[in-house]
Chains A and B, each alone.
Chain A
Amino acid sequence: MTEKEKVIVSNKGLVRAEFNFWVGRYMDKFYDGLEQKKLIGNKCSKCGAVFCPPRSVCGKCNENLPLDQNWVDLPETGTLQNYTITHYKVADRRTRTVKDPQLIAMVQIDGTNTAIVNRLLNMTPEEIKIGIKVRVDWSEKTTGAPSDINGFIKV
């Protein structure tokens, strides 16, 4: 059977089932911080690990991080831990590629034990090196959403 002879039923969906996720009490605080262009995290009182974004539970210790305790104000600077470069936009790899590849990095914010993933901006692939210092590039108008962090730029 050739591709032309195949009958394809493409179902765009009669049902719209979109989720409105509530981010939860911890991420509520975090997003309030982003809106003011501030990064915050929280600390496990048992092992001392600092999480950014904050967590309600430390998986390693299986301990709750109380909502009203151990919040840490964090700087907007961090260390580049890892990176990758890709032309692919995720929705459909075959058709969705970008002309200029995206530089995606893992950045460990200073004073934390975890890394966050976001774009590297105004950098060429040759400039990227593991271990360099970067800082948050904030969106001009913040709204208390993940997109408040535009990406990371070289310090």
Chain B
Amino acid sequence: MEKVGIVGFNQVKLYSDANYGRYEMIFEAVRGAIDKAGLKKKDITTVISCTNDYYDGRTISNCWTVEVGGGYLADESKCEMDGAHAVLYGLMRILSGNHKLAVIWGGSMPSCYPYHSARLYETDPTWERPLGYVNDITAGGFQMRAYMEKFGVSKEEIARIAVKNRKNAAKNPLALAESQNANITVQDVLNSDVYSDPVTELMVAQPCDGVAALLLAPERQALKITDNPVWITGVGYSQDTYYLGERDLSVSKSMEIASKTALNAAGIKNPKNEIDVAELFEAYAHEELIFTEALGLAEKGKAASFNSEINGELAINPSGGAIGGNPPCATGLIRIIEAAKQLRGEANGYQVKGAKKAIASGQIGMCAQNNILFVLEGNV
């Protein structure tokens, strides 16, 4: 694969109820990324927007984000999945050979709409939706219980992931304030309100307001823009079946396939030894464990004993991950940005020492039906 580099990025501070409009937020993210990279509007040759019509409350919602997203009279189109999928779309635009700079932005503002109702629109309208028993809340409970039952993992072991990510989020100034819990304990997580048993509120990646933007350029252009590009060396993705009752929720087959494809492309044989940092989109604490296993970093059912602290065997979600703030359509994009920050040595306060190679993932659907994984390398 021809080398494509991340040449800039920007993320707004995450809020549970932001005091500014979503269009201001998009402009802050995109214009901020362009300014930081020392570029101008005229340098943008393609824009990939990532939003969701239901979350925006209008159809073809990118028709109104043209100006703020840098798309005015530019080549612009939209990806209606996770921001990480939008990065794949941007990558393909660059690899077409027709573009010198791609802006990829994603985000949403769930303080303006009933998030869980919007997600109910994911379900089968002719069978599940009229009853409402299958929804994104119950799906989280089913997935955690399936994982615990299959492998005998305890609630405490899963709560430890929420503690780690919330403590990490406390070091990340852009994380959601409600998730920046420097002194949280496993007991606090277990004693928080039941979300969907066995999942408790503090195990959930809370949907919040936020937008992020990323810039991609082909190798030659990338090296002109910055001395410190981050290269995309592999990408893989996979879609599992829709019906929850047909899937083994204790594992993530789609992440297994996505990671095999991505690691293969990047020539990585032993991710545990070769990867220095991982930023994974975990919608719940237990998903981080399921993904750790799907990535081959731990045996099935054993991820809880894998040391994923910032100074551990392999740091997972040093930024706090999605539990540190989960702005729909931006969360996976933020994972890629956080991984790039690590490789550029810019993760002040939560930097993994000497990080050279990273992985970052995005997901969409109930119980992470679809997963996408990127392998990134610093410019050495």
Contact = CB atoms under 8 A, between A and B. Distances in A.
A90 interface: yes
17 contacts: A23-B126, A53-B127, A84-B138, A84-B140, A84-B141, A84-B145, A85-B194, A86-B197, A88-B195, A88-B196, A90-B116, A93-B116, A104-B138, A114-B245, A115-B245, A125-B197, A146-B130
Given A108-B245, A117-B245, A90 B196 contact: no
A86 B130 contact: no
B290 to A, nearest CB: 15
B128 A117 contact: yes
A86 B116 contact: no
A91 B130 contact: no
A108 B120 CA distance: 23
B133 A118 contact: yes
Nearest to B137: A88
Contacts of A92: 114, 116-117
Nearest to B193: A87
Main secondary structure on A side of the interface with B: mixed
A70 interface: no
B380 interface: no
Given A91-B117, A145-B130, A86 B137 contact: yes
Interface string B134-164: 1101101110011001000000000000000
Given A91-B117, A108-B245, A118-B133, A82 B146 contact: yes
A100 to B, nearest CB: 13
B243 A114 contact: yes
Given A23-B126, A146-B127, A147-B131, A86 B19 contact: no
Interface in B60-119: 114-117
Going nearest first, the 3 A-B pairs with the smallest beta carbon separation are A84-B141, A115-B245, A85-B197
Contacts of B138: 84, 86, 104, 117
B125 interface: yes
Contacts of B17: 3
B132 interface: yes
B364 interface: no
Nearest to B132: A90
Contact of A86 (B114, B115, B195, B245): B195
Contacts of A1: 19
A130 B17 CA distance: 40
A125 B321 CA distance: 32
A117 B367 CA distance: 15
Of listed B120, B137, B149, residue having the most chain A CB within 10 A? B137
Among A1, A6, A21, A145, the one with the most B-chain Cβ atoms within 10 Å of its Cβ is A21
A59 B135 CA distance: 22
B133 A104 contact: yes
Interface in A100-140: 101-102, 104, 106, 108, 113-119, 125, 130
A91 B116 contact: yes
Given A3-B17, A145-B130, 6 more contacts: A60-B241, A82-B146, A85-B196, A93-B114, A113-B246, A146-B130
B57 interface: yes
A90 B130 contact: no
Which of A101, A104, A119, A145 is packed against the most chain B CB atoms within 10 Å?
A104
Contacts of A23: 126-127
A89 B146 CA distance: 22
A120 to B, nearest CB: 10
A46 to B, nearest CB: 16
B127 A130 contact: no
B289 interface: no
Interface in A2-49: 3, 6, 11, 19, 21-24, 27
Contacts of A116: 245
Contacts of A119: 133
Contacts of A71: none
Contacts of A3: 17
B244 interface: yes
Contact of A84 (B114, B115, B131, B142): B142
Given A90-B117, A106-B245, A117-B244, A6 B19 contact: yes
A106 B244 contact: yes
Interface in A56-74: 59-60
A23 B196 CA distance: 30
Interface in B150-209: 194-199
B57 A11 contact: yes
B280 interface: no
Interface in B4-38: 17, 19
A59 B197 contact: no
